[in-house]
Each structure stands twice: as structure tokens, then as C-alpha cells.
Structure 1
Amino acid sequence: MIRVVICYEGEYITGFMVKGHAGYADPGYDIYCAGISAITQTALLGLLKHLKTKPDYSISKGDLKVKLPRHLDGEDLNKAQIILSTMEAGISSLEEAYKDYVRLEIRRC
């Protein structure tokens, strides 16, 4: 199962983590893994492209971790929240449709 954890501080998303494999098909052929990867990697690319202050991130063995800087200015914070809340909506939709393969956790971090 793919596990996506989205971290909130108050009302703001501050980062996310993706771990695991859906187990629907072999790695490289799994449509659920591909869907989650497309959504989360596009969110990371959006943050890197549109924020003046870049997020910290790491990719290791297929796992992805992204953390926003602690003090973003108003414009960067707004852009980040639009990107990350859109990512959350996409993942939530996949989780609703494919509960056996995708789990979304919301945490206060």
C-alpha cells in the first residue's frame, strides 16, 4: 500500500511524505503508484518553480519527503498552499476510489 502523509501546522500544509508500493502490479507497471507519483512529483515541481524560497526535499528508493521552509512570506505561502491543497485533493480522490492501494493520513506536525 502507498502511504501519503500530509503535515499541517494550524491551517497550513507544511510538508508531505510518500512511502511504499501499491502492490497492484510490479514496480514500473503499477498504475496506482504512477498516479500518486505524478501528483506528488508535480506538486514538488510546482513548489520548486514558483516559490522564491525553495522547499527541502529528498527522494530515496521511491520514497519522497518534502518540507516547506519555516518562514515563507505571504506570496510564497499562498502559492504553496494552492499547490499542496490541490495535491491533497488529487490524492484524496484516489484514496476514495482505491482504498486497497492508497492511504492518505493528515497529521499535525
Structure 2
Amino acid sequence: MIKVTIKRNDQQAIDSFTITGHANFAKKGSDIVCAGVSAVSFGAVNSIISLLSVTPQIEQGADGFLRCTVPRDLEESTKEKVQLLLESMVVSLETIERDYGNYITISK
């Protein structure tokens, strides 16, 4: 199962997210759940980097591990844009969870 953890600060802004595990929906290369989660999460990170010129702290590892931490020293307008991209990611992940809840879980 893929486990997504969204960490928020006191203002409910996303500080970081962590993704671990594998969906095991289908064999490697055919797993649409894993592919969807990867596309959504990496798309959000790449958008933050490319569109906003913000470099989050990124950790990657075995077994589908991805952690992304938002820098704290951003201008307010940039923070808002980063949050919009991350909230969009969460909506997309929740859509995947709604349809494939046996293979992905999201905790906030």
C-alpha cells in the first residue's frame, strides 16, 4: 500500500509531504495507482521548481520513498503559489484514494 502523509503547520499550510510504499495494484510497469501517485507528486514538485524557482528539500529512497519539505524563508506571494500547487496535489491524490482506497491511504 502507498502511504501519503501530509504535514501542516499551525496555519494549516503544507510544510511537507511523505510518500512511502507500493500500491501492488498490478505488476511493475502496469500499476496505474503507482503511476498516478508518482505523476501527481513529482508533477507538483517539478512545478514548484520550474514555475516558481523554489527548491524544496527533497529526499528519495527505496520502496517508493519521497519526502518534500517546503522552504520556510519564502516571500508571502511565493508561499501562496507553492501552497496552491501542493493543495492541488492533495486533491488529485484524494481522488486516487477515493477510487483505489485499497491501495493508497492519505493521513493529514
- The TM-score, its normalising length taken from structure 2, stands at 0.91
Task: Report the structure, 1 or 2, having the larger strand content.
Answer: 1
* 1:100 counterpart residue number: 102
Secondary structure at the aligned position of 2:18 is classed as strand
Provide the C-alpha distance between the structure 2 equivalents of 1:16 and 1:51, rounded to a whole number of angstroms.
18
* 1:8 counterpart residue number: 8
Task: Give 4+ residue runs of structure 1 displaced > 2 Å after superposition.
Answer: 50-53
Secondary structure at the aligned position of 1:4 is classed as strand
Q: Deviations over 1:2-54 (max 9, x none)?
A: 01111100220111111000111122221100000000000000111133441
* 1:26 counterpart residue number: 27
CA RMSD across the alignment: 1.1
Residue-pair matches, total = 106
Q: Deviations over 1:64-108 (max 9, x none)?
A: 1100012221121011011000000000111111110010110xx
Unaligned runs of 5+ in 2: none
Confirm whether residue 54 of structure 1 aligns to residue 41 of structure 2: no
Q: Is the 8 A contact 1:23 1:30 kept in 2?
A: yes
